[in-house]
Amino acid sequence: MTLIKGGMLDRRGFMKTTAAGALLATLPMGGAMAAPKRGGHLRVAKGHGQTTDTLNPGQWSNGYVLALGFAVHGRLTEVAVDGTLAPELAESWEASADATEWRFKIRQGVTFHDGKPLTVEDVIASINHHRGENSTSAAGPLVAPITELTADGSDTVVFKLSSGNADFPFILSDYHLTIHPATADGIDWQSGNGCGSYVLKNFQPGVISSFERNPNHWRDDVAWIDSCEMLSIVDQNARTTALVSGDVHAIDRVDLKAADLLGRRPGITVETLAGTQHYTFAMSTNKDPYTDNNIRQALKYAINREELVEKILFGYGSVGNDHPIGQGQRYYNSELEQKTYDPDKAKFYLKEAGLDSLDVTLHTSEAAFSGAVDAGVLFQNSAKAAGINVNVVREPKDGYWSDVWMKEPFTAVYWGGRPVEDQMFSTAYQCGASWNDSFWCNERFDELLVKARAELDDDKRRQMYWEMQDLVSNQGGVVIPMFANYVSAKSDDVMHGEMASNWEMDGERWMERWWMA
């Protein structure tokens, strides 16, 4: 029996889960809503996407390719609308007593878009795509603890881990870990051949993609729309105009200063959800002056977080505390002292670094998040009182993630967050992780990361995650001034049920969950 506790699958409950009941959490409608219907064509404009985007799942880095991946491909597990974990291509799983071995039973009757049946070999090859010393996948740290991956018969995949991990089924829901057809030397990711609810018909990176419903999908409770087009329109004004003019049916990343006005337009609804999305300024701790934690602390106290929430988010969010764990997550450290704007304390840390003043350059772009350039200017203004000169450089939108992020030493970034703490920390804060955009390494943090992952005592695990948040906040290389609500808008032609908040636009599964009125 699947146990639900605190809105998430109970630890014992998801160690042995069956599809019964869990799939109900993915249904796109509530009991009081009219039933969804099939048919129609949907056009959505995303404030993401660039010409360097690829179909290689290990390189996916923005909301455009996330949405594409969720539509075209399948994963072993998925995060449901209510934040619980649900089976997808794995119909059930169970763990050993110490959670070092996990057995996943693969769903039968699933086929790829070209008609090839899904096999355990496809699953193994797809996970191995992200493993190994030569892997450049951003999911590399997530699968690094896997020491052995084998098939047990024709329907079971066995994962052996270097240490216990009670959250391992959640890890396999990561958007990078899509299942592709196995080939002689890896997987076929180039063709876009998936086993998801939509078939990719056209992919023009940074421009447009088109999709058609998969008529042979194994589920009949998703994919209501016949066909879909997804446009990359990073410019906020152009994206809004496309919605108002009727050229598209829905957009994400609504201009927050105009959200109320947009919502008053007949036929348009603005929707907002709080989640784990956060906006950051990442410092390369392997480059001066950010090698000195006193400098990093000075910058953290030189930013006015409340002002950013008010003037950049227009109240659609909350202040951050320089770590990536949201207030709604299981192990959020509610007792960690909240940093506030304090120029005198910033000056103190500058003196500890042997400085009376500091000059830094912050690279920003609207590709990072809407209002990122203005946020940089506000940072610039507040830091002056501490003797810090922040030179704000506006970078082009296209190519920002490939040419600026993790290349320049101080950059604006957006993160969607992750459903579990281990996943977020492993992806962006573990030493050597591909997306550790502050290049931060802390021996105590990495030690706790491994211990917390294997700890089955909830109180002990909480203490570890609390300490990890403290370490990131007070020794890490990322300024996290604000958590941003997801704010999107749609025409009344588009319908949906309760929306997920693990990613924007219904967990980026809008293509399979929404329908036309």
Interval 270-313: pLDDT, tens: 999 998 999 999 999 999 999 999 999 999 999 999 999 999 99
The average confidence (pLDDT) of the chain is 92
Q: Is the CB of residue 478 less than 8 Å from the CB of residue 281?
A: yes
Q: Is the CB of residue 168 less than 8 Å from the CB of residue 149?
A: no
* Closest C-alpha to 177, from 204, 142, 223, 134: 142
pLDDT digits (tens, 9 = 90+) for 142-152: 999 999 999 99
Q: What backbone torsions phi and psi does residue 279 show, to the nearest 5 degrees?
A: -105, 140
Share of the chain above pLDDT 70, in %: 94
User: What is the reported pLDDT for 134?
Assistant: 84
User: What is the reported pLDDT for 11?
Assistant: 37
Q: Which residue has the tokens 């009949």?
A: 220
The angle subtended at Cα 274 by Cα 273 and Cα 275, nearest 5°, is 115
pLDDT digits (tens, 9 = 90+) for 369-383: 989 999 999 999 999
User: What is the reported pLDDT for 33?
Assistant: 62
Sign of CA dihedral 182, 187, 193, 194: positive
* Closest C-alpha to 14, from 24, 23, 2: 2
pLDDT digits (tens, 9 = 90+) for 341-357: 999 999 999 999 999 99
Q: Is the CB of residue 95 less than 8 Å from the CB of residue 15?
A: yes
In Å, how far are 179, 361, 407, 445 from 390, measured between CA atoms? 44, 6, 18, 29
pLDDT digits (tens, 9 = 90+) for 442-501: 999 999 999 999 888 889 999 999 999 999 999 999 999 999 999 999 999 999 999 999
pLDDT digits (tens, 9 = 90+) for 232-252: 999 999 999 999 999 999 999
User: What is the reported pLDDT for 246?
Assistant: 97
Residue 351 CB partners (closer than 8 Å, separation 6+):
none
User: What is the reported pLDDT for 191?
Assistant: 97
- Tokens describing residue 244: 């108002």
DSSP summary character for residue 171:
H
pLDDT digits (tens, 9 = 90+) for 55-84: 999 999 999 999 999 999 999 999 999 989
- Give the H/E segment covering residue 70: helix 63-72
pLDDT-derived band at 10 (thresholds 50, 70, 90) equals very low
| Dist. CA 270–CA 249, nearest whole Å | 12
First to last CA, the chain: 37
Over 70: is that where the pLDDT of 128 sits? yes
DSSP summary character for residue 24:
G
In Å, how far are 201, 375, 502 from 392, measured between CA atoms? 41, 10, 31
Over 80: is that where the pLDDT of 7 sits? no
Q: Is the CB of residue 208 less than 8 Å from the CB of residue 231?
A: yes
pLDDT-derived band at 103 (thresholds 50, 70, 90) equals very high
Over 50: is that where the pLDDT of 221 sits? yes
pLDDT-derived band at 139 (thresholds 50, 70, 90) equals very high
Helix%, strand%, coil% for the chain, nearest 5: 30, 25, 50
| Dist. CA 415–CA 369, nearest whole Å | 9
Q: Is the CB of residue 61 less than 8 Å from the CB of residue 138?
A: yes
What's the CA dihedral at 490, 496, 497, 502 to 10 degrees? -60
Q: Is the CB of residue 417 less than 8 Å from the CB of residue 275?
A: yes
Q: What is the DSSP string of 367-423?
A: TTSTTHHHHHHHHHHHHHTTTEEEEEEEPPSTTHHHHTTTTSSEEEEEE---SSHHH
Q: Which residues sit opposite 272 in a β-bridge?
A: 487
